[in-house]
Amino acid sequence: MSAPLIGMSFAAFVVVTIISGIAGAIVHWGFRYRLFQGIDGCLGQWIVAWVGAWLAPAVLGHWFDSAMVSGIYVVPAFVGALAGAFAGTINAKILAGAISQRGA
């Protein structure tokens, strides 16, 4: 019995997980743009990057048919994962600033 992961195979899930993990690590340790200082910040960015990598091929389009792995277009998925990690972090920082402004 096979249970699809909302329209994606397990191999596609693994590919998106790897792509988003790389993008989250690049944003966290490479650019040092952090949600939190420890490993929990990297994991948070990884989760948001996963959503970005999952949605990006549908939003950005299908680029480079030769760079498709398990039905996932790698280039737009990676771009979406980077954008998701950056967007999730900036959103959290904006919300933290708004809450601290309101409380002061």
pLDDT tens-digit series, residues 78-97: 999 999 999 988 988 888 88
Domain encompassing residue 32: 10-103
Residue 55 lies in a domain: yes
Overall average pLDDT of the 72-79 stretch: 92
Residue 5 lies in a domain: no
Residue 1 lies in a domain: no
pLDDT tens track for 32-47:
888 778 888 889 899 9
CA pair distance 61, 63, nearest whole angstrom: 6
Q: In the prediction, which pLDDT does 37 show?
A: 81
CA pair distance 104, 101, nearest whole angstrom: 5
Residue 93 lies in a domain: yes
Residue 4 lies in a domain: no
- 57: pLDDT strictly greater than 50: yes
Residue 70 lies in a domain: yes
- 1: pLDDT strictly greater than 60: no
Overall average pLDDT of the 60-68 stretch: 84
Give yes or no for a contact between 75 and 65, defined as CB atoms under 8 angstroms apart: no
Residue 33 lies in a domain: yes
- 48: pLDDT strictly greater than 50: yes
Instruction: Please give the tally of structural domains in the chain.
Output: 1
Q: Residue 33 burial (CB < 10 Å; 0-12/13-18/19+)?
A: middle
Residue 2 lies in a domain: no
Q: In the prediction, which pLDDT does 42 show?
A: 87
